[in-house]
Structure 1
């Protein structure tokens, strides 16, 4: 942080460090602000709600029920050897995490406009703290999956030990896409209307209610350009075990796209960061 003082009058100018090294060090220095923003958003989300944190359980559960009836009971789609509700919910977990992250990140800078215009801190703190809030919902929703496993007497295989790897990939995808939308929403306020459409459209083009194995073989590689295909397939491979298989070329393509999304998201966010306070 650089401090300048003029001779004509007492004036304190606070600005970000001029080097990349200082910026990334500032992220660590402002970790308490990161904790505060995340905890504040968690409290605000469930403040004065009748059933509180249960909202994180109701929405994915009802979506799972609808998808099970439509795709499992009516369309009779394959379930990879697992009960269809577990097939659906093993995809609902990463999808809800990703969708909530997009919604929270896209509005995070606008919501904290007063803070951004008054003091210096690394702006990356704001959208990344929003992703952590969405991860809390992810952990809460995980209780439904445990309940479904107990109900159907479903015991996961050793693959469940690889689940943290795919959670990490989901984090990269959420942060990367979230940084893009947070930056664009500051410049173009129309994106607050576009984000819900992206989330709704993405739900149906991602293999949430069905297995990606039903996609024709000649289209499956192209289908994996959707970064959430690799994340969802990875979750199912880790949770379902048994007949569930991971289409490796498609997963690697999705993983590469996730990494590109993450790196480009940070690059674009840093490029636009200096103008945030002025535009907001």
Structure 2
């Protein structure tokens, strides 16, 4: 009896299973196809070499996110407060009252012939906006760490939204200044047309400083405690409670290396109607632009 006779039909039949070596080839082909399809949908995000944060087209595409985050910051700031948005007015007004008593009445600080409350409020208005913008944008990356780590969007949106929320406070507090100008019958000249340009310059300066502080704050958490102290010292190096004329003329060029010095003096010229100092304003705006470019570089 042939021992292979009963095995022959099973070996030669057309219905036999395919060779085992064909299965790995099929799987390998399917895996390669899947990998190729996945590779077609991979998006690689790399930082740019120069001005990596300043992509205006991308920022415009995410403008709705900027608005949503700014509104979120406004709501969080005044959530569960009794006075709500009135704090935007109370903060500079209370500071004006304190400075008027101590610097205007007791220290007899000169105010270039203008009522001291009006003189100091025209400086407190942009300074309060700047100080709030720097503090909020400097801490913005830490505060939004969960959002930054989970979703891609232009990182410049985070500090910009913090500054955008401060702009609303600035607009609200400006109504008090306009009312004071009516009461004291000061200002209301064509100089007011330059207020938007001065505000944009303050935004650039605050954004540049805020980005630098935000980066340092991520690396060294001690900076969250340094920022309020830095802003407080910066205020006394800026002509908020005193006029520029109090600084000797030979030293004024050094004063205007502080970008907020020329901008504060520019706001006073715009609201009070006094002549602009083009040289000091130009120096301060140039320094503000330099700080901004350094921050986004």
> Which one of 45, 48, 53 corresponds to residue 16 of structure 1?
45
Q: Which residue of 1 aligns with 2:279?
A: 249
Look up the SS of the partner of 1:225 in the other structure: coil
CA distance in 2, matches of 1:93, 1:226: 17
CA distance in 1, matches of 2:54, 2:138: 26
Q: TM-score with structure 1 length normalisation?
A: 0.86
Matched, 1:263 2:289: no
Maintained 8 Å contact 1:176/1:264: yes
CA distance in 2, matches of 1:239, 1:69: 22
Question: 1:14 Cα shift?
Answer: 5.2
> Which one of 29, 33, 37 corresponds to residue 65 of structure 2?
33
CA distance in 1, matches of 2:81, 2:280: 42
Larger Rg: 2
Root mean square deviation, CA, Å: 2.4
Alignment of 1:65-84 (within 5 A): 65-84=97-116
CA distance in 2, matches of 1:133, 1:21: 20
Q: TM-score with structure 2 length normalisation?
A: 0.81
Q: Which residue of 2 aligns with 1:238?
A: 270
Question: 1:29 Cα shift?
Answer: 1.7
Question: 1:13 Cα shift?
Answer: 5.7
Maintained 8 Å contact 1:89/1:145: yes
Alignment of 1:172-191 (within 5 A): 172-191=204-223
Matched, 1:229 2:261: yes
Q: Which residue of 2 aligns with 1:161?
A: 193
Unmatched tracts of structure 2, length 5 or more: 1-32
- Going from structure 1 to structure 2, the CA distance change for 1:6 and 1:94 (only over 3 Å counts) comes to farther
Alignment of 1:102-141 (within 5 A): 102-141=134-173
Unmatched tracts of structure 1, length 5 or more: 268-280
- Going from structure 1 to structure 2, the CA distance change for 1:23 and 1:222 (only over 3 Å counts) comes to closer
CA distance in 2, matches of 1:28, 1:253: 30
Question: 1:24 Cα shift?
Answer: 3.9
- Going from structure 1 to structure 2, the CA distance change for 1:192 and 1:6 (only over 3 Å counts) comes to farther
Look up the SS of the partner of 2:239 in the other structure: coil
Question: 1:88 Cα shift?
Answer: 0.4
- Going from structure 1 to structure 2, the CA distance change for 1:13 and 1:143 (only over 3 Å counts) comes to same
